Amino acid sequence: MKIHKLLFEVIMVVSLSASSYSQTTIDSWIDKIKQCDSEECQKNGLIILKDSLLRTLGVHDFPSECLCKYVNVNLYDSSLKELLLSNLRSNYDFWTIQIFFKIGDPIYCDSLVSIYKEKRHSKSLIYDLKMENALIRCGNKDILEQRYKYLTEAVKHGGTLDSDFCQTITETRDVADRRYADMLMSYVINNNNQLVYYGDDGGGNVDYCPLSRLSILILKDIIKDFPYVPQYYELIDEKKESEIRQWCKKHQKVYEMNIVPFSLRL
């Protein structure tokens, strides 16, 4: 396939159908571009598609979900940088936050901090947690320290742990470091059975999960060669939990992380 013919078709179709574009249309052109033989051809095709959409739809109307397609393409192009930041400031949406999390570059940190301070609490907690994860990936250690302080103090105070705690400790998995894994292991080893809000069925019935078992569900994703764990905490019986507790005691000083620790990402 000749690249100049393909890209001409992309530009024409995007220009003519921008007013009625759909994600399916964009995906179909991305699939066509990926049929190119060379990596350079594919890269240029995606850049032209992005630029064509940007010119036609404008910064604020450019679909954030499409940007995920270009996260590995020409990241430091100034127009793309401004587009990403503008989308985030306008929409504070999952898609754009996810892109900055994937990029994880300190050059964005100051801009992201500014947006975070402006938009914090404007939507549900999960948005703020994911934005904080993006900031942590970009090198903001203050956010990470604040999160550890919150988690530690919440457990120390005792009693039932609320949904904010559950979301926070679970979302921290995406920026896991050894300190996080050590903390979770301590909950398992010490058999911490504080109850954690784990959701409800909408009919007034609330589900609570013991902190030790919630910790096990997270550890299985971040620790290499961790023992087999059922998908749901309800299926972790006392025998299985005891086996995992013994494994944690044995390996608490010598385990390996499944994901790159935060300290090595910078």
pTM of the model: 0.72
Domain residue ranges in the chain: 1-57, 151-265
Rg (CA), the chain: 22
Q: What percent of the chain has pLDDT over 90?
A: 49
For residues 230 and 245, the model is more confident at 245
Pick the more confident residue, 265 or 160.
Answer: 160
Structure tokens at 100: 């900055």
The C-alpha atoms of residue 214 and residue 187 are separated, in whole angstroms, by 9
Residues with Cβ < 8 Å from 213, sequence gap 6 or more? 233, 236, 241
The Cα–Cα gap between 181 and 155 comes to 16
pLDDT per residue over 76-100, tens digit each?
455 667 777 888 898 898 878 887 8
Burial class (CB in 10 A: 0-12, 13-18, 19+), 258: middle
Q: List the structure tokens of 83.
A: 């587009």
> What pLDDT is recorded for position 262?
45
Residue 205: which pLDDT band, with cuts at 50, 70 and 90?
A: confident
Range of weakest confidence among 2-11, 91-100, 106-115, 240-249: 2-11
Q: What is the pLDDT of residues 228-243, one digit of tens each?
A: 998 888 888 899 999 9
Given this model, what pLDDT does residue 41 score?
A: 67
Alpha-carbon span 259 to 34, nearest angstrom: 29
Which residues, in sequence order, are bridge partners of residue 30?
none
Residue that has been written with the tokens 């905490």 in this structure: 233
DSSP string, the chain: --HHHHHHHHHHHHHHHGGG--HHHHHHHHHHHTTSSSHHHHHHHHHHHHHHHHHHH-TTTS-HHHHGGGTTSSTT-HHHHHHHHHHHHHH--HHHHHHHHHH--GGGHHHHHHHHHHHTTSS-HHHHHHHHHHHHHTT-HHHHHHHHHHHHHHHHT-S-B-HHHHHHHHHGGGG--HHHHHHHHHHHHTT---EEEEEE-SSS-EEEEEHHHHHHHHHHHHBTTPPP--SSGGG--HHHHHHHHHHHHHHTTT--BSS--HHHH-
Q: Which of 8, 26, 7 minimizes the C-alpha distance to 17?
A: 26
